[in-house]
Structure 1
Amino acid sequence: MSASRDPEEIPGQPVDEELIRGLIPVTIGVLVRRGADFASAEDAVQEALLAALRRWSEDPPHDPQAWLITASWRRLVDLARSEEARRRRHERVDAEPPPGPAASRDDTLQLYFLCAHPSLSSSAAVALTLRAVGGLTTRQIAEAHLVPEATMAQRISRAKRRIADVSFDQPGDLATVLRVLHLVFTAGHSGDLDLAEEAIRLTRQLAAVVVDEEVAGLLALMLLHQARRPARFAEDGSLVPLAAQDRALWDTAMISEGVGLLQAALARDRLGEYQAQAAIAALHADAAAAAETDWSQIVEWYDELVRLTDSPLARLNRAVAVGEADGAGAGLAALAAVEESVPRRVAAEAHLRERAGELARAVELYTEAARRATQLGERDHLLRQAARLNRRPGVGRGDASH
């Protein structure tokens, strides 16, 4: 078959949507290397991606990467020709490269760095990463974040303008990339797009191009948390706390993969915060029942996490772990060092007060924590906890001795 045929006419094997989206970073990198600016390259690749999704189900190409590069390049040239004000760019990109196999250079890591540039806000970096690296459409990203598509389009456009002058070869900060991916994971999911699964896919992609203990640690952390997801909600949609989850519902294969990644990372003896968090998650996963949880080891890992990050949230969670390992009194003493403004501190104190037998005070705190909660599921769970204690004899009349 002639190599000069239009890539849209080349038959081949079917390619699924996830595979197509996985080609996006390399394609953008190739266009930027050939002289395109990042914003125009990303727009051109998105248009080519839409064409691929329409055409490949019936007529897939032999070389999907080469197809996407060629189609994106042609759209980039069309865009340059239609914008007379950017005539110089048109002169730079007008000569289409000869057909052939895709370039072997992989610029995926540089693209991660660019989309997580320190000049961008967290929300902008997340949106740009999902679009440029993840290959998602603006509509998908908007629906996942529960904002209008026009709002998300403006956010992405502003982000691209902000990094317009950043060199593609400029060294990036891997720690910032990991923070952005962690934000994607914790953003939850809405509609047809599961951001947790998307974050896992993107982190796997990053792990394929860079060997780093913290990348492996973050991927392990995501897998260990995602493995518990089937047990996290009851049939009525209410939140099920970790101690009450049906562990038979946990994904053991995902847990095994996460533990394997973590052990390999820890063996290189370059501990970081994501490895420490993953170690804590692994200890929870290792317990066949909540009562068998090794809280003493968890406290030790929280000590490491506090040492690494000095995070108020880490100190809060450490206080709860201390309460489980050494008793409610010790947990409350550790909690006293945590600032009142730290999110979920009131809920943590409610739990510890309940363990200490101060039930009436725990009811007050659960109610207050519910009032402060920003998520519906969390608020309902806290109100259920307050109602559960209120049903105890004497608690509703303020008698904490029962």
Structure 2
Amino acid sequence: MDEAMIRRLTPSVLAVLVRRGADFAAAEDAVQDALVEAVRVWPSDQPRDAKGWLVTVAWRKFLDATRADAARHRRENIVEQAPVPGAAPCADDTLRLYFLCAHPSLTQASAVALTLRAVGGLTTRQIAQAYLVPEATMAQRISRAKRTVSGVRFDQPGDVATVLRVLYLVFNEGYSGDIDLAAEAIRLTRQLAAQVDHPEVSGLLALMLLHHARRAARTAPDGSLVPLAEQDRGRWDTELIAEGVEILQAALARDRLGEFQAQAAIAALHADAPTAEETDWVQIVEWYDELARLTGSPVVRLNRAVAVGEADGPRAGLAALADLDAGLPRYTAVAAYLHERDGDLTTAARLYAEAALKAPDLAERDHLTRRAARLNSRPTTRDGDRGAPRPPAP
């Protein structure tokens, strides 16, 4: 069978069963039974309408399981009122599945795992590999999530913001194992954008494309991180950048600014600069001001301090940093960078070393450790050779 086709069809078939009244866990069991049947039948008798065939068989499997279940009487109305199996599904079936998987009763980790399983069509093994956890652990997480959303019915529109947050979390996981989660998040967000006319959906898609365009340049051949300012811009994907900018411009023209559009605007300004030195930092600060207004996020204000340091000088950046909580993630790394820009190499080296101890992953820890070592090997006078320091993270 065509595995790509199965991955594409499975979520929509599952969504049809959920819309018809099957609880999530029972619907997924029925879909899996239908896929087993397809493996047996399709090699010798491929149906012309693969989706319709799967819907019909999966619904029959669900009905059979329901009748055999001890709770048959409780589900009797579902069986009696269900549409005719194989009927054309509603266009918003998959969209309902997005909202179901991003239900507010789920933790972020569970929502991400369930989205990848149900909407993305990934296997439990693939998701476990991507998150570097045992398959049994991921199976338990997904099973709990399915139990949580079983019985949930949608009588109001779902929360688009929650769905977008889940997709953004998937994107930020990047790549691990044999599943490229960044590419998977882009695929799912494209699918969502085709169904939801909302500027923030477009904003998130644009943001993903603009970040993904720089992926090839983010690491050196030895696997070490390459900060944005030091990246080979010739390796950036110009087609993805052009698409991301076009989508962003259309979203911004609707004059309903949201945080993902603002983040995408910042990414677009970086992508537009032919060199790091030509980056329009003044505009980037203005977009960070908008983003801070929209979110109130201290992490946004931390990133803004870096931009202020580039636009108005390192001491202005340090002044902006002084208003923030020193316990913020990457605060110490930002402080180290701004002190290095200001020529205080002794303080910068010490802070880089401290930041390395707090780094969230090995690659970033090694990156910060190398910066500390480089400064410790250089003159520590304020008017010594400063070189060209770069931001602490790509």
Matched, 1:177 2:157: no
Q: Which residue of 1 aligns with 2:389?
A: none
Q: Which residue of 1 aligns with 2:271?
A: 285
Matched, 1:154 2:143: no
Alignment length (residue pairs): 384
Is the partner of 2:245 in helix, strand or coil? Answer: helix
Q: Which of 165, 174, 195 in structure 1 is aligned with 2:151?
A: 165
Contact 1:323–1:330 under 8 Å retained in 2? yes
Is the partner of 2:195 in helix, strand or coil? Answer: coil
Q: Which residue of 1 aligns with 2:231?
A: 245
Counting aligned pairs with the same residue, the percent is 67
TM-score where L is the length of structure 1: 0.89
Change (3 A) 1:52 1:352: farther
Is the partner of 2:75 in helix, strand or coil? Answer: helix
Deviation of 1:101 after TM superposition, in Å, equals 5.8
Is the partner of 1:72 in helix, strand or coil? Answer: helix
Matched, 1:187 2:182: no
Q: Which residue of 2 aligns with 1:230?
A: 216
Change (3 A) 1:148 1:247: same
Deviation of 1:54 after TM superposition, in Å, equals 8.0
Q: Which residue of 1 aligns with 2:25?
A: 39
Matched, 1:296 2:297: no
What is the alpha-carbon distance in structure 1 between the residues aligned to residue 374 and residue 72 of structure 2? 66
Q: Which of 316, 323, 330 in structure 1 is aligned with 2:302?
A: 316
TM-score where L is the length of structure 2: 0.91
Q: Which residue of 2 aligns with 1:8?
A: none
Contact 1:189–1:195 under 8 Å retained in 2? yes
What are structure 2's unaligned runs of at least 5 residues? 385-394
Which segment drifts farther, 156-165 or 96-105? Answer: 96-105
Q: Which of 317, 324, 335 in structure 2 is aligned with 1:349?
A: 335
Change (3 A) 1:368 1:47: farther
Matched, 1:202 2:192: no
Change (3 A) 1:58 1:184: farther
What is the alpha-carbon distance in structure 1 between the residues aligned to residue 196 and residue 270 of structure 2? 28
Q: Which residue of 2 aligns with 1:80?
A: 66
What is the alpha-carbon distance in structure 2 between the residues aligned to residue 184 and residue 212 of structure 1? 20
Q: Which residue of 2 aligns with 1:375?
A: 361
Question: For the aligned residues, what is the CA RMSD?
Answer: 2.3
Q: Which residue of 2 aligns with 1:5?
A: none
Deviation of 1:137 after TM superposition, in Å, equals 1.2
Which segment drifts farther, 105-114 or 206-215? Answer: 105-114
Q: Which amino acid aligns with 2:275?
A: A
What is the alpha-carbon distance in structure 1 between the residues aligned to residue 182 and residue 324 of structure 2? 29
Q: Which amino acid aligns with 1:265?
A: A
Change (3 A) 1:212 1:53: farther
Deviations 1:89-130 (A, max 9, x none): 378449997665633443222211111111111001111111
Deviation of 1:133 after TM superposition, in Å, equals 1.1
Q: Which of 328, 341, 348 in structure 1 is aligned with 2:314?
A: 328
Q: Which of 231, 250, 266 in structure 2 is aligned with 1:264?
A: 250
Deviation of 1:64 after TM superposition, in Å, equals 2.4
What is the alpha-carbon distance in structure 1 between the residues aligned to residue 29 and residue 361 of structure 2? 34
Which segment drifts farther, 130-139 or 93-102? Answer: 93-102
Change (3 A) 1:184 1:56: farther
What is the alpha-carbon distance in structure 2 between the residues aligned to residue 69 and residue 242 of structure 1? 47
Q: Which residue of 1 aligns with 2:57?
A: 71
Tell me: higher relative CO, structure 1 or 2? Use CA pairs within 8 A at least 6 residues apart.
2
Change (3 A) 1:55 1:328: farther
What is the alpha-carbon distance in structure 1 between the residues aligned to residue 133 and residue 40 of structure 2? 26
Deviations 1:7-27 (A, max 9, x none): xxxxxxx8451x432323332
